[in-house]
């Protein structure tokens, strides 16, 4: 009899000894029958000796303790922060991107990498070696940016596999014990994890001509900025084997445990954290709009100078002053009236400030930087607006295999947010422009000759103030008098008072109609808003609704609910997980999944558990646990 079979016999004997305390005499007899059958087969352990069906049907299983008292289980767990394929670079085969895989043969746990975790049995952890990964001569250069400082544990990897049947795998923003970390206690924020250079990927010659010319027209520097991610999977092998259930993914409903927290089989739980997956890109259409406004502002001063420099303006001002004074002349008469100086200066700085200040919509879906011509889409806020079950801050709470941007409803929400944001911003630019026209600083100097048969005095009157204040009549003129002969100054007082109190409004009333056309942005400029909406809609349609690019949250194989399994995880595919292995990844990015190995599939925050077996099962030829 082999040592492994002997160990199995002893474990069964211990289980049978414990049975009367748990299940009674009938259970004890059943356990003895099973152990006798094992010995009778001369140590040859086969599927017939102890298979899944017997775990379900045989009362003997009720005598096997699950939990901390169990033993003799072969388990596997893995945490891999970065996984997949980038234009032919298989990240799963690169040592620098290696995760932590822990297997337990029923007695001893062995890890592929990492260091043991103090205080945790059969547990190992290891950070993703980002610096070494960045130094590799791979197509990663210019495609994927990762944080070089991993001191915060943003990309940790963890595995724990115990012979009691429990296995736990985790990666990403996780604690040293494999738990999903929480947001910063002070700010409530999560750290950033990676930036995927989508423009470089989509334009790569390795993808061939995929017909994205029109989709990417007017768009550059398209990136996906990923926040903190984490994937966590745990499996109680004893509970899984006890429940049984179908093994074919397409066979229909599986046996479900009563505990609502359990996944597709009893004892399995999968969780994810996806803090953010935001899109940013540069749009030439935004630059055109900003450029149009900037050109308008550059030309304002010249337009103002041309308007007030017209002879008709001088004539109108002279006539208006004569009308103002005629009613108070008394014994005096007017001689020559001259406009010595007339200037109007506009300060466009407050309007230009809007051209260099980011803006967005009320829901926080969009942030547009007009100075850089960039648009940022907060995916969590977008999904919340579209009615998805997220909290608006993170991408948590989504069902398995949710392709977050594949729904036209999301595009409608995006278009509405963009329209609102641009309309609000144009409105603020328009208001700022109007305010600055009203704030034009006007300076006018007038010379008025006074006669008493002959010229006897020359009055100089000046006003200096904003156009708005001139119109309001709050700007008082300053005057001075030069006597040309003997004259009682008291005769000039009515003229001086009229000039002091009336000249400012007179100047304002003449200039204001000239500025009316300058208060409104030209139609040719406001028409530049529509192309921005067109570009964003075309980009969204061409990438997401046409299935060129998919961003899947909470990716799982064998999901209990939710969307379809990722194509490369489907049974029969070269990269499909083996039967009994349960995967979860916080985020999956796929580009042209139909290209297979030549496409792009990137998993961030990936974890898996299983297959799990008894020692007896693991001894059978071809069993997935045999290599543990």
Determine the Cα angle at 241 with ends 236 and 242, to 5°.
Answer: 100
User: Minimum mean pLDDT among 15-29, 263-277, 445-459: which range?
Assistant: 15-29
The stretch 120-147 carries a mean pLDDT of 76
Q: Please write down the HEC assignment for all residues of 340-409.
A: EEEEEECCCHHHHHHCCCCEECCCCCEEEECCCCEEEECHHHHHHHCCCCCCCCCCCCCCCCEECCCCHH
The stretch 496-511 carries a mean pLDDT of 97
Residue 41, pLDDT above cutoff 70: no
Confidence at 94, pLDDT banded by 50, 70, 90 = confident
The closest alpha carbon to 613, from 47, 38, 169, belongs to 47
Cis bond before residue 611 (omega within 30° of 0) = yes
Residue 484 has a pLDDT of 87
* Phi, psi (deg, nearest 5) at residue 506: -60, -45
Structure tokens at 610: 């299983």
Residue 46 has a pLDDT of 25
- CA 406, 412, 417, 423 dihedral sign is positive
- CA 151, 134, 103, 269 dihedral sign is positive
Is residue 169 a contact partner of residue 230, using CB atoms and an 8 Å limit? no
Overall residue count recorded for the chain in this entry:
628
Secondary structure tally for the chain: helices H, strands E = 16, 26
Give strand pairing partners of 104: 75, 109
> Residue for token digits 């004539």?
315
The stretch 609-616 carries a mean pLDDT of 94
Residue 621, SS3 per DSSP: coil
Residue 441 has a pLDDT of 98
Tell me what the pLDDT averaged over the chain comes to.
Answer: 84
Confidence at 164, pLDDT banded by 50, 70, 90 = very high
> Residue for token digits 């014990």?
177
Residue 515 has a pLDDT of 97
Residue 155 has a pLDDT of 81
| Alpha helices (H) in 97-236, listed in sequence order | 130-134, 198-202
Q: Which residues contact 471 (CB under 8 A, 6 or more apart)?
A: 505, 508, 509, 512
Is residue 199 a contact partner of residue 220, using CB atoms and an 8 Å limit? yes
The stretch 55-81 carries a mean pLDDT of 65
The stretch 13-37 carries a mean pLDDT of 31
Residue 48, pLDDT above cutoff 90: no
Share of the chain above pLDDT 90, in %: 64
The closest alpha carbon to 540, from 210, 211, 215, 214, belongs to 215
How buried is 572 (Cβ within 10 angstroms: 0-12 exposed, 13-18 middle, 19+ buried)? exposed
Q: How far apart are CA 462 and CA 352, in angstroms?
A: 31
Residue 76, SS3 per DSSP: strand
- According to DSSP, the β-strands at 582-591 and 600-609 are antiparallel
- CA 242, 243, 246, 250 dihedral sign is negative
Residue 485, pLDDT above cutoff 60: yes
User: Minimum mean pLDDT among 42-51, 249-258, 583-592: which range?
Assistant: 42-51
The stretch 473-498 carries a mean pLDDT of 91
The stretch 20-27 carries a mean pLDDT of 31
Structure tokens at 191: 């750290």
Residue 12 has a pLDDT of 37
C-alpha distances (whole Å) from 62 to each of 106, 167, 238, 597 are: 20, 21, 11, 46
The stretch 249-256 carries a mean pLDDT of 32
* Per-residue pLDDT tens digits for 166-185: 999 999 999 889 998 876 65
Residue 132, pLDDT above cutoff 90: no
Residue 98 has a pLDDT of 87
* Per-residue pLDDT tens digits for 538-580: 999 999 999 899 999 999 999 999 999 999 999 988 889 999 9
Residue 488 has a pLDDT of 79
Residue 185 has a pLDDT of 56
Q: How far apart are CA 51 and CA 580, in angstroms?
A: 14
Residue 256, pLDDT above cutoff 70: no
Q: Which residues contact 334 (CB under 8 A, 6 or more apart)?
A: 322, 325, 326, 448, 449, 450, 451
Q: How far apart are the first and last CA of the chain?
A: 21
The closest alpha carbon to 582, from 237, 255, 98, belongs to 237
* Per-residue pLDDT tens digits for 382-432: 999 999 999 889 999 899 999 999 999 999 999 999 999 999 999 999 999
Q: How far apart are CA 209 and CA 327, in angstroms?
A: 83
């Amino acid at each position: 009899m082999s040592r492994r079979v002997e160990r199995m016999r002893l474990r069964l004997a211990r289980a049978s000894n414990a049975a009367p305390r748990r299940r009674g005499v009938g259970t004890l007899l059943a356990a003895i029958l099973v152990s006798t059958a094992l010995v009778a087969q001369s140590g040859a352990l086969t599927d017939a000796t102890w298979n899944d069906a017997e775990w379900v049907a045989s009362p003997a299983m009720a005598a096997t303790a699950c939990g901390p008292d169990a033993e003799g289980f072969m388990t596997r767990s893995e945490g891999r922060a970065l996984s997949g394929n980038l234009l032919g670079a298989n990240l799963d085969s690169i040592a620098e991107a290696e995760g932590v895989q822990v297997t337990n043969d029923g007695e001893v746990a062995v890890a592929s990498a990492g260091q043991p975790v103090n205080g945790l049995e059969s547990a190992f952890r290891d950070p993703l070696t980002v610096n070494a990964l960045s130094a590799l001569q791979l197509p990663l250069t210019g495609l994927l940016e990762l944080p070089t400082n991993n001191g915060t544990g943003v990309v940790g990897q963890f595995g724990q596999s115990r012979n009691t049947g429990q296995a736990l795998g985790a990666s990403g923003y996780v604690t040293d014990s494999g738990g999903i970390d929480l947001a910063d206690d002070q700010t409530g924020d999560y750290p950033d994890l990676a930036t995927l250079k989508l423009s470089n990927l989509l334009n790569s010659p390795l993808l061939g001509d995929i017909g994205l010319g029109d989709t990417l027209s007017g768009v550059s520097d398209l990136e996906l900025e990923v926040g903190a991610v984490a994937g966590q999977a745990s499996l109680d092998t004893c509970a899984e084997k006890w429940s049984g259930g179908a093994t074919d993914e397409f066979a229909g409903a599986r046996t479900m445990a009563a505990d609502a927290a359990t996944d597709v089989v009893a004892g399995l739980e999968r969780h994810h954290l996806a803090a953010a997956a935001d899109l940013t890109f540069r749009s030439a259409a935004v630059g055109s709009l900003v450029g149009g406004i900037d050109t308008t502002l550059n030309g304002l001063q010249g337009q103002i100078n041309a308007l007030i420099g017209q002879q008709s303006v001088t004539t109108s001002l002279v006539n208006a002053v004569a009308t103002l004074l005629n009613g108070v002349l008394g014994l005096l008469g007017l001689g020559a009236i001259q406009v010595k100086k007339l200037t109007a200066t506009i300060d466009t700085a407050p309007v230009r400030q809007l051209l260099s200040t980011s803006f967005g919509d009320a829901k926080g879906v969009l942030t547009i930087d007009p100075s850089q011509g960039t648009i940022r889409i907060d995916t969590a806020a977008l999904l919340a607006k579209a009615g998805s079950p997220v909290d608006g801050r993170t991408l948590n709470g989504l069902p398995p295999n949710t392709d977050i941007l594949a729904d036209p409803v999301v595009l409608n929400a995006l278009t509405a947010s963009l329209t609102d944001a641009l309309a609000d911003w144009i409105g603020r630019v328009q208001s700022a422009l109007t305010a600055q026209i009203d704030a034009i600083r006007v300076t006018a100097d007038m010379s008025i000759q006074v006669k008493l048969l002959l010229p006897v005095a020359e009055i100089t009157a000046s006003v200096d103030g904003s156009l708005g204040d001139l119109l309001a009549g709050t700007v008082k003129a300053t005057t001075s008098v030069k006597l040309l002969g003997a004259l009682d100054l008291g005769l000039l007082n009515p003229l001086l008072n009229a000039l002091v109190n009336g000249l400012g409004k007179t100047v304002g009333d003449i200039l204001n109609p000239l500025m009316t056309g300058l208060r409104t942005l030209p139609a040719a400029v406001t028409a530049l808003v529509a192309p921005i909406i067109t570009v964003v809609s075309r980009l969204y349609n061409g990438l997401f609704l046409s299935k060129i690019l998919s961003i899947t949250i909470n990716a799982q194989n064998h999901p209990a609910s939710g969307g379809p399994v990722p194509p490369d995880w489907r049974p029969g595919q070269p990269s499909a997980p083996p039967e009994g292995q349960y995967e979860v990844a916080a985020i999956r990015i796929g580009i042209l999944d139909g290209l297979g190995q030549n496409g792009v599939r990137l998993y961030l925050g990936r974890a898996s558990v299983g297959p799990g077996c008894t020692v007896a099962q693991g001894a059978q030829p071809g069993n997935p646990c045999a290599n543990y």
